Chain A
Amino acid sequence: MNNNFDPKQNYEESKQKVGYVSRKEATQETYTSIGFMSGLEVHQQLLTKEKLFCHCPAGVFQKPTVYDAEVVRHMRPTLSELGEYDGTALMEFRTRKEIIYRIKNETTCTYDVDDTPPFPINREALGIAIEISMLSKLSLVGEVHITRKQYLDGSIPAGFQRTAIIGVEGEIPLKNKKIRLIQLSIEEDSCREISDIGHTRIYRTDRLGMPLIETVTYPEMMNPDEVMEACNYIRFLNRSTNKVRTGIGAGRQDVNVSCKGGTRVEIKGVAHTKWIPELTHNECFRQWSLLQIRDILLQKIKDTAAWKMDVKELDFYALQFPCDAIKTAKNAGQKIYAVNLPNFKGILSYFTQPGKMFANEISERLKVIACIDIPNMTHSEEVNALIAGDDQGYIRKLFKACDNDAQIIFWGPEADIKTAIETIDERCRMAFTGVPQETRKSFEDGTTIFERVLPGADRMYPDTDSKPIPLEESYINELKKNIPTEVVDRYNQLKTWNVPEDTYTYIFKKNLFPLIEKIVKDLKINPVFVGTFFGHFIKFVEGHNKKGREFKFEMIYELFVYLLKNKYDLRLAKKMIPILYVHPKMDMESVLISIKFKHISKEDIVKHIPFLREKFGKIRFNDNKENETNWIMGQLQPTAIGNINMKDLKKLLESK
């Protein structure tokens, strides 16, 4: 508001001071200098028929607007086993949310809505969780204890999630190092959110209660790529059992990030592994910015405990607010307030993330904690001011503000104002200590917003409704028999076979290694051909065709058997697969007819060569032999594929 102050310039300058570089420009030195540290919590749904603690079907989903009934709940914080209230719990309670559950009868029972105690744990799910724990080299517990983990956001109608530890202290191998695992737990999945507007949050209960495992690593990843590599390894390991769900939402991860001097911040529910590098990169720099903001404030404010913001109600009519958001608030009968933040000049427009500044941190908390939908505020360092210059001066005078102060103008329903003021005060004070512990929601562009206060161990409570489950040696030994070979061994095998590395992600993602191994061993087909056939060609087919419901990768094995038996060239498979993929029920002969394949003997193909040579002689530009070979190959290809190995044909042409 000071005429000399340019928020845009301040933003750019602060960005430089932070040392922000894009991920492409960043090197290990960049990350080492700001002390990048990250750990993962990888969630994976298990492939079971039923939910974890009741007999509802798992994996049947509902549309947001199709439901049979609604149930309303409010959540209250309760004490943990050790007699403490949890921070998140108290925050959620302050938000006074009304939670509505949309229920579909076929997927939801009285257990899901917390009107019936749990049934004994789904043994199918427990078995899978133990198998994956063994693959992750975890120490298995002697007895599984179901614990209640409080969630007051309403994502679980009971207000807690039933969860249990299966193993602790394991490890996974990355290319250059090992990452230690803290634990693996089995838990029930939560509801899917439909909307969250004002004081009403709506969920659907189809996903609720589905069996899920969570693998937690130590914070040992030192750059964004390592985080993605570790995440992929854990996901591939889970998939190697063939007993986990795939598809959107079946695997999600929470990513913990901190910088040197920062705190653990959890980025929740990252749906795609490929988002991880950008998200962790930006979060680390956000923390670095917040630490700089702290240092600036501590330099300006000697006694932070005595720092006090001033609050005044404004009159919609006394000021001319030109922006639509404020007009809407005025018409809705809401209140508008201003606060003066002593010594905060230059802080509100300080860089935090690409396209975001410190003021966003406050606005996001107003949305989540005070339930005032965005846009809920503007301020004295807005790049495109939402209020007129005269008004700014008026507000400054109202507070008798100093040049070093900053002002926030916010609006919302009267009932939410008190919480809003507390929220602004709280967030500003947090700036004096640096990085608040919180969970953040991720976006595809790599930025994050505040989601809630980070919960601690205080939200755990033993489940008084269920008995501990002993894991006897005999049971463990029985499960051991189901365990597949390790992902790292598979990786090494592919390398030994010289299968190109760019196929690995697809192969592990789809758990195709066992099939590839079977084809290579049983049918003696060249591994490089098989590996690229899946990793390049099948991947392409999948991206360009709609899969027939009955299509299974195992059919490719059958296809190779068929080709070998009929002595067709294996490359014919590339023409057949697109048809088979869409129409998996077609038999092989019909597929051949549909691609207009005719069986022709080698001699019949070869006999065309002299004629083609003669023809090329007429159209050629020079005497280059290679051009001739290539042209003839092109002419023969449509009929030759499948009937003769193209390499053999080439050799034949070159020799003649």
Chain B
Amino acid sequence: MSEDFFQGYKGASLEVLKKYNVRVWGQANVNTTRGIFQGTILPRSENDDDQHIVMKIITGYNIGVDIANITEMHETGYKKANYKIPEKEFPYTEGFPKVKLIGTGGTIASRLDYRTGAVIPAFSPGELYGAVPELADICNLTTEKVFAVFSENMGPEQYKKLAIAIGKEIENGIDGIIIGHGTDTLSHTAAALTFMVQNSPVPIVLVGSQRSSDRPSSDAALNLMHAATAAGHGNIAEVMVCMFGPTSDEYGLLHRGTRVRKMHSSYRSTFRTIGDVPLASVTRKGVVPIKPEYNHRRKDRNVTILPYFEEKVAIIYYYPNMQPDMIDSLVENGYKGIIIAGTGLGHVNKPLYPAIERATAKGVHMFMCVQTLWGYAHMFVYDTGRDLMAKGVIPAMNMLPETAYIKLGWVLGQTTDPVKVREMMLKPINDEITPREPYNGYLIYQGGVKEVEEFIKKVHK
């Protein structure tokens, strides 16, 4: 393959570079009607226009030059940048727990991508050690890249691959597993792994970062240290999500994989346990359980791997005036299961009833969750609820809609027998349905309220 000398340039700007014989990474003098510019020609992001050429000037800043103003261009040198985190072999310390970091992509380790101008995942144990040397004080880390996809592109194929890879690691005697993952669908994967990897003797910790590791204030390094501590030293042998507790660099929280949700588009402390309290808090000193009951770490290797998934499952998010064809179209397209996120205690409007009846008649499995996220689907309270149950919709208690979606896919990957499906859906594997909601679980901080303001001032949140 020949080298791309004009990385990212297209159309008119590409023609200009070719005309003056100036390459990307070439040092150039550019004469324009606005003055002379000197610097290194940089690649251009694919989604940007074809009217400008990007240069890095001597002071380190980037600028763009309008090609319409260019009167002359001249290449005076060439120096390609080599973006590489210093790679160092991860040191082995006798007596430290063996932890495996499985990479899937995402911002936990990333570098600049000139194609899109955004950051792309990069992953290698040596790079990680180069960037976060503190990890060597926590555990003996090995890494494996199972695949590299963006969080939003994760799906059933990846869940299954991950479950199988985890099974192998456990069999081979690992003491803990970390999974690096983009944050957008981190909780979906956490739910999937809870169902697919059961009875694990070791911690399985999913971790990501909200600020990419290419910035000094990134949460990536601290999240990784917390995850390594939880995986290597923690006593909780469950599938967990490990992310910032507060936005401050203070402690992480471990959330049960079935009860966790991303609640802010950009905050560091975006992950919250819903309908319960978090499992534990974690610092580099260790894990401090919050919930008294959890699955303890064991010496045996008796893990059960259940890598199944039916892809024809959907969530519909109910809104007033939803038309019945929303459900009909799913049924017509061969969907086998639907999670409805209903209003209030688990409701939809009457015009949908016939569509729901038609779906039941076709053998589509339907479960009701609540949009409020907090609280249970209580379908006995109002007539609407009773009607819906009569028409075949099963209340999924306090299962989160996304968790219910993952679970239904997993269940339908194993059986389509309505009785079996119902039984499997409603029998919790790890607290996706809880028998009770603790009083202090629902604690929504609301700024502006005097008590909350006082609390925030005293405690770093």
Interface residues on chain B, number (Cβ under 8 Å): 61
Interchain CB contact (< 8 A) of A142 among B52, B58, B117, B249: B52
Q: Which of A144-152, A248-256, A398-406, A510-518 contacts B (4 or more CB under 8 A)?
A: A144-152
A485 contact set on B, CB distance < 8 A = none
> B52 to A470, Cβ gap below 8 A?
yes
Interface residues of B in 22-38 (CB under 8 A from A): 32, 34-37
Kindly report which residue of chain A lies nearest to residue B110, judged by CB atoms.
A464
Interchain CB contact (< 8 A) of A468 among B48, B59, B83, B216: B48
A69 contact set on B, CB distance < 8 A = 456-457, 460-461
> B61 to A460, Cβ gap below 8 A?
yes
Interchain CB contact (< 8 A) of B250 among A72, A164, A168: A72
> B69 to A185, Cβ gap below 8 A?
no
> B248 to A142, Cβ gap below 8 A?
no
Interchain CB contact (< 8 A) of A70 among B63, B119, B457: B457
> B216 to A160, Cβ gap below 8 A?
yes
Interchain CB contact (< 8 A) of A113 among B57, B131, B222, B247: B247
> B32 to A164, Cβ gap below 8 A?
no
> B215 to A115, Cβ gap below 8 A?
no
> B65 to A70, Cβ gap below 8 A?
no
Interchain CB contact (< 8 A) of B64 among A115, A145, A167: A145
B357 within 8 Å of A by Cβ?
no
> B84 to A83, Cβ gap below 8 A?
yes
B118 within 8 Å of A by Cβ?
yes
- CB B217 to nearest CB in A, in angstroms, measures 4
B51 within 8 Å of A by Cβ?
yes
B398 within 8 Å of A by Cβ?
no
> A169 to B35, Cβ gap below 8 A?
yes
B60 within 8 Å of A by Cβ?
yes
A143 to B49 Cα, complex, angstroms: 11
> B34 to A140, Cβ gap below 8 A?
yes
A115 contact set on B, CB distance < 8 A = 210, 247, 264, 266-268
A71 contact set on B, CB distance < 8 A = 247-248, 460-461
B218 within 8 Å of A by Cβ?
yes
- CB B312 to nearest CB in A, in angstroms, measures 36
Question: Chain B interface mostly helix, strand, loop or mixed?
Answer: loop
B213 within 8 Å of A by Cβ?
yes
B34 contact set on A, CB distance < 8 A = 139-142
B81 within 8 Å of A by Cβ?
yes
A354 within 8 Å of B by Cβ?
no
Kindly report which residue of chain B lies nearest to residue A466, judged by CB atoms.
B117
B118 contact set on A, CB distance < 8 A = 464
B417 contact set on A, CB distance < 8 A = none
A75 to B215 Cα, complex, angstroms: 9
A592 within 8 Å of B by Cβ?
no
Kindly report which residue of chain B lies nearest to residue A70, judged by CB atoms.
B460
A73 within 8 Å of B by Cβ?
yes
B247 contact set on A, CB distance < 8 A = 71, 113, 115
> A143 to B66, Cβ gap below 8 A?
yes
A173 to B131 Cα, complex, angstroms: 48
Q: Tell whether A68 pairs with B457 under 8 Å between CB atoms, given A79-B85, A83-B84, A168-B37.
A: yes
- CB A606 to nearest CB in B, in angstroms, measures 67
Kindly report which residue of chain A lies nearest to residue B80, judged by CB atoms.
A82
Interchain CB contact (< 8 A) of A139 among B37, B51, B67, B84: B37
A458 within 8 Å of B by Cβ?
yes
Q: Quick one: CB contact mask for B203-235 with A, threshold 8 Å, 1 for yes?
A: 000000011111111100110000000000000
A114 within 8 Å of B by Cβ?
yes
A55 to B101 Cα, complex, angstroms: 40
A456 to B37 Cα, complex, angstroms: 20
A163 within 8 Å of B by Cβ?
yes
B315 contact set on A, CB distance < 8 A = none
> B217 to A158, Cβ gap below 8 A?
yes
B58 contact set on A, CB distance < 8 A = 457
Which of A143, A183, A467 has most chain B Cβ within 10 Å?
A143
B82 within 8 Å of A by Cβ?
yes
> B217 to A159, Cβ gap below 8 A?
yes
Kindly report which residue of chain A lies nearest to residue B210, judged by CB atoms.
A115
Interface residues of A in 426-484 (CB under 8 A from B): 456-462, 464, 467-468, 470-471
Q: Tell whether A461 pairs with B32 under 8 Å between CB atoms, given A78-B218, A141-B65.
A: no
B57 contact set on A, CB distance < 8 A = 165, 168, 183
A471 to B118 Cα, complex, angstroms: 23
Kindly report which residue of chain B lies nearest to residue A67, judged by CB atoms.
B457
> B457 to A458, Cβ gap below 8 A?
no
> B66 to A467, Cβ gap below 8 A?
no
- CB B208 to nearest CB in A, in angstroms, measures 15
Q: Tell whether A462 pairs with B216 under 8 Å between CB atoms, given A168-B57, A470-B51.
A: no
A78 to B63 Cα, complex, angstroms: 22
Q: Quick one: CB contact mask for B108-126 with A, threshold 8 Å, 1 for yes?
A: 0001100001110000000
A541 to B56 Cα, complex, angstroms: 50
Q: Tell whether A143 pairs with B52 under 8 Å between CB atoms, given A71-B248, A79-B85.
A: yes
> B37 to A75, Cβ gap below 8 A?
no
> B35 to A150, Cβ gap below 8 A?
no
- CB A475 to nearest CB in B, in angstroms, measures 12
> B83 to A143, Cβ gap below 8 A?
no
A73 contact set on B, CB distance < 8 A = 217, 248-249
A164 to B67 Cα, complex, angstroms: 19
A152 contact set on B, CB distance < 8 A = 216
Kindly report which residue of chain B lies nearest to residue A468, judged by CB atoms.
B64
> A458 to B60, Cβ gap below 8 A?
yes
A148 to B461 Cα, complex, angstroms: 26
Interface residues of B in 59-104 (CB under 8 A from A): 59-67, 69, 81-86
A182 to B37 Cα, complex, angstroms: 11
> B461 to A468, Cβ gap below 8 A?
no
Kindly report which residue of chain A lies nearest to residue B65, judged by CB atoms.
A142
> B61 to A148, Cβ gap below 8 A?
no
Interface residues of A in 35-86 (CB under 8 A from B): 67-83, 85
Kindly report which residue of chain B lies nearest to residue A102, judged by CB atoms.
B457
> A182 to B59, Cβ gap below 8 A?
yes
B453 within 8 Å of A by Cβ?
yes
A459 contact set on B, CB distance < 8 A = 60
> B457 to A145, Cβ gap below 8 A?
no
A165 to B340 Cα, complex, angstroms: 51
A116 within 8 Å of B by Cβ?
yes
- CB B145 to nearest CB in A, in angstroms, measures 20
Interchain CB contact (< 8 A) of B48 among A105, A149, A467: A467
Kindly report which residue of chain B lies nearest to residue A74, judged by CB atoms.
B249
Kindly report which residue of chain B lies nearest to residue A72, judged by CB atoms.
B248
Sampled A-B contacts (17; CB under 8 Å)? A70-B248, A70-B460, A79-B83, A79-B85, A82-B81, A82-B82, A83-B82, A110-B266, A116-B265, A139-B37, A142-B66, A150-B216, A160-B216, A165-B61, A183-B59, A460-B61, A464-B117
- Across the A-B interface, give the 6 residue pairs with the lowest CB-CB distance, nearest first: A139-B35, A143-B64, A159-B216, A142-B66, A457-B60, A460-B60
B contacts, CB < 8 Å to A: 32, 34-37, 48-49, 51-52, 54, 56-67, 69, 81-86, 111-112, 117-119, 131, 210-218, 221-222, 247-250, 264-268, 447, 453, 456-457, 460-461
User: 20 extra interchain contacts, Cβ-Cβ under 8 A, other than A75-B216, A149-B60, A158-B216?
Assistant: A68-B457, A69-B461, A70-B460, A73-B248, A75-B217, A81-B56, A115-B210, A115-B247, A115-B266, A115-B267, A141-B34, A141-B65, A142-B32, A142-B63, A144-B63, A459-B60, A464-B118, A470-B49, A470-B64, A470-B66
A contacts, CB < 8 Å to B: 67-83, 85, 89, 105, 110, 113-117, 138-145, 147-152, 157-160, 163-165, 167-169, 182-183, 185, 216, 456-462, 464, 467-468, 470-471
